């Protein structure tokens, strides 16, 4: 079973619907025991970084997620969920600590680059890790983004794909069982469904 963590922040229903559409058993849950017993875990997220971390703390999910990671259970962070995997964010002008499962930071797109922020729409990926979630996915495939902040991974080896929107940014990451996509695979058509399938089969 794939557990989709419900901590009051995130587009849960669309992720659940996409997984069931491609034939995988998934469940939206806030139950710690269910999450720890799951075969795979997804951490979704939309909105502000600090609010999400506060919600994770209030629901007791921080320790649960860290246990999931330590057990080696495949863990996928989506959009804000990917950002939460990292050390900290500068959203709101202050340094807010994240889960620290991966080394790196989250920062806002420059507002003077002549492009609209948030970055919203379809952009192509330069895939750096052609196995794992990108197994069988074509180079330069298009996926769907909605975000004003982006991850800069400290370790280049963690970067699974990059994208360019005015500046280059890390669009997907993978280190062992810890995986993240800045884009929304559940909203990215057939390419996104293939990525979710690869995760579900990991």
pLDDT of residue 92: 78
CATH number, domain of 174, equals: 3.40.50.880
Residue 137 is given by DSSP the state: P
Catalytic residue flag (residue 79): yes
pLDDT-derived band at 46, boundaries 50, 70, 90: confident
Number of domains making up the chain: 1
Tell me which of 91, 163, 174, 184 is the catalytic residue: 184
Catalytic residue flag (residue 57): no
Structure confidence by residue, pLDDT tens digits, 152-180: 999 999 999 999 999 999 999 999 999 99
CA distance 104 to 98: 10
pLDDT of residue 60: 96
Strands 126-127 and 159-165 turn out to be antiparallel
Q: Model pTM?
A: 0.96
For the segment 105-114, the average pLDDT, to the nearest whole number, is 90
pLDDT of residue 143: 98
User: Which structural domain range is residue 99 located in?
Assistant: 2-200
For the segment 49-75, the average pLDDT, to the nearest whole number, is 97
Catalytic residue flag (residue 174): no
Tell me which of 79, 163, 174, 194 is the catalytic residue: 79
Beta bridge partners of 167: 165
């Amino acid at each position: 079973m794939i557990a989709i963590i419900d901590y009051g922040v995130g587009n849960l229903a669309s992720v659940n619907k996409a997984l069931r559409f491609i034939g995988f058993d998934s469940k939206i849950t806030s139950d710690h025991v269910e999450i720890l017993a799951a075969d795979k875990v997804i951490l979704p997220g939309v909105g502000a970084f600090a609010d999400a971390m506060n919600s994770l703390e209030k629901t007791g999910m921080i320790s649960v997620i860290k246990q999931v990671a330590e057990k080696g259970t495949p863990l996928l962070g989506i959009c804000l969920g990917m950002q939460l995997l990292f050390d900290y964010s500068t959203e709101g002008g202050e340094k807010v600590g994240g889960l620290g499962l991966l080394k790196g930071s989250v920062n806002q797109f420059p507002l003077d680059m002549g492009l609209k922020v948030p970055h919203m729409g379809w952009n192509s990926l330069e895939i750096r890790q052609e196995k794992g979630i990108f197994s069988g996915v074509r180079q330069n495939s298009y996926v769907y983004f909605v975000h004003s902040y982006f991850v800069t991974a400290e370790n280049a080896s963690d970067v699974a794909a990059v994208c360019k929107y005015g500046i280059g940014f890390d669009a997907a990451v993978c280190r062992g069982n810890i995986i993240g996509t800045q884009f929304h695979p559940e909203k990215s058509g057939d390419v996104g469904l293939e990525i979710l399938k690869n995760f579900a089969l990991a």
